Chain A
């Protein structure tokens, strides 16, 4: 490992503090990165990682403290300023123009030209050169929207490298990759170091950061609670620093006692919005009193599967029933009336109406049922009673039930959705990414409520891109890859590397 003390750090942050209304996102954070160094920035949701990095990238300004780039103090006016100084960002949600080609995306804003005309030939040459130098394979003339996720990420990276980034900030880059693609990416990252490019690697996955980082900074509660190296610690040690407890986020639950089959699906197929196959001939059964977790990297058909099951997407199947009642071809309303609760993946878009009050959101999918309405007229008192009860029961932090849903924090918004769905006592609960963007305290709460529902006899289908969440909550685990369910096992029997292979399309056997 090269020694860093002699070189000027590419980036140095001293005493950074950032406050938002009601919360201190970063407190007195200091950090130093040398050329070619990989720094792993570790922390749970809400620990302050993304806020810190946004300040380095110029999106926010620190309230206190200084940032030094290549030894000089800077006050960044925005991302463009940061880019000019050699800081590049690879976003978690790609900032690429889908209808442009790879080359067009990379050169945007810094186009090789002859007077006003773009010199496309020079552009492709340059991109090819970078691609080769850093080992990032891409088809220069392909349209980005046609590319698989891994390729899109490579384009993001190339974009930053094209602008001569000395420091690359990678924000949860492995969230959308299979374990195999992740390993490839980690290799590429080591290649950056050889080329003198430093990396800030944001993640909450302990395995990865131990595999590739030179230095690991652990954030908790906005503060740096530990600086270490892979040689000095292990997963358990990191977890302890991250969470402040001796154990990872595991769920306390009794073994399941499954009853009758509630969800029975045979031969289910569905397509994406563009008509490509998304769900291929899926067979699935979920019994009362058990949690079945679908593990898999996002984009393998999970979203379409959930939409098909809840009536939001057209599908074909040999059989699709809930407690014996046919749900194939039924409207979302009818399916909901049959006892199916759905916590949608995108709560802002599908699960809540932001400008509506919490009360109205609590009855969003029951507004026309008794007692909330009769003969077409809504009953304010019934709605308010329910809302008041649920807000208390689910500890939704809000001054009143008339507050608009959009003013709540992520965790509380999700609690509203969970409260709504669970209060209808569903026979089948389908929960999709139930703790995405939710703070740690609310995560535990939501997990315990899901387990409660199971213990009260509900069948639960959990879909999550967080493997740990699936392994922690589910009784049975199913892996989804390329539209098919490729394996099924009891969660206790799960071996991580096998699951990883399955998620990438391999077999259990070598």
Chain B
């Protein structure tokens, strides 16, 4: 039932894209590329949310994880002069914060929303406190242009000529889908998020699974943050995550906690933003700048209002697991 809506919507959008392409090739490609790049951190962050919530843990600290990782990634790369090292630092930072959330939620059985909020506040404070001007990245992120495929009209330049992070994001979504629904890890993770008691008596170590999943998911948040500062902006600005971590949660819900669904939702979101920006730049519509900047947030709220109540989260999400 829901799948039918999604398919109809996707076909509708794809048709519009083809029409637009025929009408104006360069602009369409540019909008689509912009949209994809916009969606990259959202895709990664939504995967973080999916892994955590499928394991039963609410993670609203993704925003803070991304911010800290953007910081660590950028300054790491600038100071060491090595992009890869910087990225790894970003990923590592994300994992450390993930471990903190995991400790709070699993070991201390804290309220998970408060734990996530603490991460966000700490990230804001620490990144502002240690921020310094005058650092530069040693290089630009290499792009990878896949020969042959990149020559296909429309799809080619959009999908096959991108920075490495972009490929990583899409691959992550696909790989996660396979892992979640076809492997032992996936079955046990889902069990832990739906009915931990059952998983426990079946021999699954609930606490350990949750802890490891949340920590590793933090790595993905780290990747998202590193993307923002290293590939997207080539800079670090205070508060540069601009609410993406929360939008990612809405995308996770809209995608029904399914990696492919979230990928689609994130792309949709990116498209909406890309379109609005392009229309604004072309002065097709004259709306005050502030309303354009509001768009992602309003869209998030609208998405949530439509979808809530129609999709079910993992049944045990948010409840600390107590062994009998």
* A–B contact at 8 Å CB threshold (below): yes
* A345 within 8 A of partner (CB): no
* B203 within 8 A of partner (CB): yes
C-alpha spacing A105/B324, complex, angstroms:
21
| Contact status B201-A118, CB under 8 Å | no
B203 → A minimal CB distance (Å): 4
* B161 within 8 A of partner (CB): no
* A104 within 8 A of partner (CB): yes
* A493 within 8 A of partner (CB): no
B232 → A minimal CB distance (Å): 33
A116 → B minimal CB distance (Å): 5
| Contact status A109-B204, CB under 8 Å | yes
B94 → A minimal CB distance (Å): 24
Name the residue on B nearest A105 (C-beta). Answer: B198
Name the residue on A nearest B194 (C-beta). Answer: A97
| Contact status B203-A110, CB under 8 Å | yes
* B187 within 8 A of partner (CB): yes
| Contact status B183-A108, CB under 8 Å | no
* A368 within 8 A of partner (CB): no
| Contact status B182-A110, CB under 8 Å | no
- Contact flag A108-B200 (CB < 8 Å), given A118-B183, A118-B184, A118-B187: no
C-alpha spacing A113/B197, complex, angstroms:
23
C-alpha spacing A80/B205, complex, angstroms:
10
* A299 within 8 A of partner (CB): no
- Contact flag A109-B202 (CB < 8 Å), given A59-B324, A104-B187, A116-B183: yes
| Contact status B194-A111, CB under 8 Å | no
* B240 within 8 A of partner (CB): no
Residues of B contacting A118 in the complex (Cβ-Cβ under 8 angstroms): 182-184, 187
B 193-224 to A, binary, CB cutoff 8 A, 1 in contact else 0: 01101111111100000000000000000000
A108 → B minimal CB distance (Å): 4
* A329 within 8 A of partner (CB): no
| Contact status B202-A110, CB under 8 Å | yes
Residues of A contacting B185 in the complex (Cβ-Cβ under 8 angstroms): 116
Residues of B contacting A100 in the complex (Cβ-Cβ under 8 angstroms): 187, 190-191, 194
B111 → A minimal CB distance (Å): 15
* B37 within 8 A of partner (CB): no
| Contact status B195-A79, CB under 8 Å | no
A 95-122 to B, binary, CB cutoff 8 A, 1 in contact else 0: 1111110001101111101001110000
Name the residue on A nearest B195 (C-beta). Answer: A97
Name the residue on A nearest B324 (C-beta). Answer: A59
* A89 within 8 A of partner (CB): yes
* B244 within 8 A of partner (CB): no
| Contact status A95-B183, CB under 8 Å | no
A175 → B minimal CB distance (Å): 19
Q: Which of B151-184 contact A (CB under 8 A)?
A: 179, 182-184
| Contact status A117-B201, CB under 8 Å | no
* A322 within 8 A of partner (CB): no
- Contact flag A96-B198 (CB < 8 Å), given A116-B185, A118-B183: yes
Residues of B contacting A97 in the complex (Cβ-Cβ under 8 angstroms): 190-191, 194-195, 198-199
- Contact flag A108-B187 (CB < 8 Å), given A59-B324, A83-B203, A97-B198: yes
C-alpha spacing A109/B198, complex, angstroms:
10
Name the residue on A nearest B201 (C-beta). Answer: A79
C-alpha spacing A429/B182, complex, angstroms:
53
C-alpha spacing A6/B324, complex, angstroms:
37
| Contact status A117-B202, CB under 8 Å | no
| Contact status B194-A80, CB under 8 Å | no
Name the residue on B nearest A156 (C-beta). Answer: B198
C-alpha spacing A99/B194, complex, angstroms:
8
| Contact status A108-B324, CB under 8 Å | no
| Contact status B201-A95, CB under 8 Å | yes
Select one of B194, B199, B203 contacting A98, CB under 8 A.
B194
Beyond the given pairs A98-B194, A110-B203, 5 more chain A to chain B contacts, judged by CB atoms under 8 angstroms and listed by A's residue number, are A95-B197, A109-B202, A117-B183, A118-B182, A159-B202
Q: Which 7 A-B pairs have the closest CB atoms?
A: A109-B202, A109-B203, A95-B198, A108-B202, A116-B183, A97-B195, A97-B194
